[in-house]
Amino acid sequence: MNAQGVRRAIPVAALVAGLLHAISIADWWAGQPRWWLQVFSLALLAGMVGRAESVRAAAIRGWAFAIAWLAGTFWWLFISMHVYGGLPSLLAVLAVLALAAFLGLYYAAAAAAFARWARGGKVARALMFACLWLAAELMRASWFTGFPWGASGYAHVDGPLAFLAPWIGVYGIGFVAALVAGGLAFSTEKLGPGKWRTSGWGLLIPVVLLFMPKGAYVPEGPAGKPLTVALLQGNIPQDEKFQGGSGIPVALRWYGEQLRAAKASLVVAPETAIPLLPRHLGGYWEPLVADLSKGDKAAIIGIPLGSLQEGYTNSAVGLKPGGGREYRYDKHHLVPFGEFIPPLFKWFTQMMNIPLGDFNRGAVQQPSFEWQGERLAPNICYEDLFGEDLAERFTDSRAAPTIFVNISNIGWFGDTVAIDQHLQISRMRAIEFARPMIRATNTGATVVIDHAGRVTHSLPRLTRGVLTGTVAGWRDTTPYVEWLSRFGLWPLWLLALGVPVLLARRRP
């Protein structure tokens, strides 16, 4: 193949590398993260961008990689739009690709910036690549409400870089992984036709970062007695969940029975487990509240709240013995198109047969639900994707959560890798915050995750059942939470943008 043919084939190679990167977050056959595949695929991208003959060529390669990676990561959006939403299949495919292409522009810009300003030796170029990769990840996480699903750091939840999570978080791990990938990619240079030279300086980066002694953060032990928990998984078919003749009566009957029958000290029902507003439940809600107020257990239940006048919220209600005012948590980070409609896009949502709505947004800093000495912090659906939001609950250490409670409904996306990807996200949050995470979902993954990100109890997906287990709250605060709760993501932004400026100003 001549030089022109090679140049034309490189964007195709970038697409393949992007698909490998998507698989690394949670593989498509076992749902497990593959940290080595993430580093390898990103090293392929770094090599292709680093040897691009122009800024335009670098941008195209970065964009092709990102489109394949992102579409290969959240392809399951097609199911929610086509299978459950009734959108024609072609339009659903185009919508997924359009979202991936839009988000991929961040990575195209990062690749173009690298080709324009990267200079110096192997280490300097690897550092520039890692910083620009971090900048693209932060842009995707923050701009236009943020959608950082499948960020590269999640591939390392079981890898040798996982020990960094309590110090620098998932985006910091992504930066280090990009530094490793850049070191691998730039450790060789072409001297002439068929001749290459390997640089020890470039190879030193992955050797040091992957095999250095692990100074793992060891939090203090749990302070209280473990809670017994019962996590409910109703497995209500998504196409029936909001139907009055099928899913709604099944959900009301089954969840009502399990909430009353559970023997654990805490019982949790998933997002919209009760799919109707309390005032539309007739004589169902008040007796349930009364029963749970008289026993010896507490409950957290997913249910929509509000009215036409005040607006609606996707919420969780906390009930416990002793009566008094019900605890309420309102979802803060809403899903675009599912829970709020962005300006100018109502025409798109009207094409789908999905119970969409414009929900009100809850506050970031909402109090925890206190029960038996623990401070339980609910988050709903993909809110556990935004660690910077969760960190704001730790500004006052005396009121900081001791246990995270995620309630979700991934039924919109079928029996797909979305379930596994969300599990890896929750595990990473547990490691970052040194907090256990209990998850009650409609279809999976319903699990108990300990403070170190290990799954200690789990329920088979797509089954109806109750997961019982124990969970102990932790009170120590990680270094990552300390600086994230004070400064947000700004230290990472400074690294991502400041270092490239300094490196670009260096003389060639």
Asked whether 247 and 241 are in contact (CB, 8 A), the reply is: yes
Indicate if 346 belongs to the active site.
Answer: no
Environment class of 280 (CB within 10 Å of its CB; exposed 0-12, middle 13-18, buried 19+): exposed
User: In sequence order, which residues have a C-beta less than 8 Å from that of residue 15 and are 6 or more positions away?
Assistant: 64, 65, 67, 68
Q: How far, in Å, CA of 280 to CA of 283, rounded?
A: 9
Q: How far apart are CA 411 and CA 233, in angstroms?
A: 11
CA-CA distance, 387 to 448, in Å (whole number)? 19
Return the closest-CA partner of residue 466 out of 196, 119, 216, 233: 233
Separation between Cα atoms, residue 362 and residue 381, nearest integer Å = 14
Q: Catalytic one among 320, 331, 339, 374?
A: 331
Cα–Cα distance between 247 and 65 in angstroms, integer?
A: 41
Q: Return the amino acid letter for 499.
A: V
Residue found under tokens 């230290």: 491
Give the C-alpha separation, 256 to 314, whole Å.
Answer: 19
Identified catalytic residue from 122, 131, 137, 271? 271
Contact 227, 340 (CB under 8 A): no
Told to judge if 310 belongs to the known catalytic residues of this protein, a careful annotator would answer no
222's tokens? 């749990």
In 3D, which of 322, 287, 285 has the Cα closest to residue 303? 285
Question: Which of 112, 108, 52, 144 has the alpha carbon at shortest distance from 343?
Answer: 144
Instruction: Evaluate the omega torsion of the peptide bond into residue 445 and state whether it is cis, within 30 degrees of 0.
Output: yes
Of 409, 447, 411, the C-alpha closest to 429 is 447
Q: Are 61 and 45 in contact (CB under 8 A)?
A: yes
Q: Which two tokens stand for residue 452?
A: 């170190």
Dist. CA 480–CA 464, nearest whole Å: 37
Place of tokens 């599990």: 423
Q: Got the DSSP string for 35-101?
A: HHHHHHHHHHHHHHHHT-SSHHHHHHHHHHHHHHHHHHHSTTHHIIIIIIT---HHHHHHHHHHHHH
Q: CB neighbours (10 Å) of residue 389?
A: 17
**Cα 218 versus chain centre, distance:** 24
Q: Which residues pair with 312 in a beta bridge?
A: 306
Residue 131 appears among annotated catalytic residues = no
- Given the residues 339, 381, 383, 388, the one annotated as active site: 381
Catalytic machinery residues: 271, 331, 381
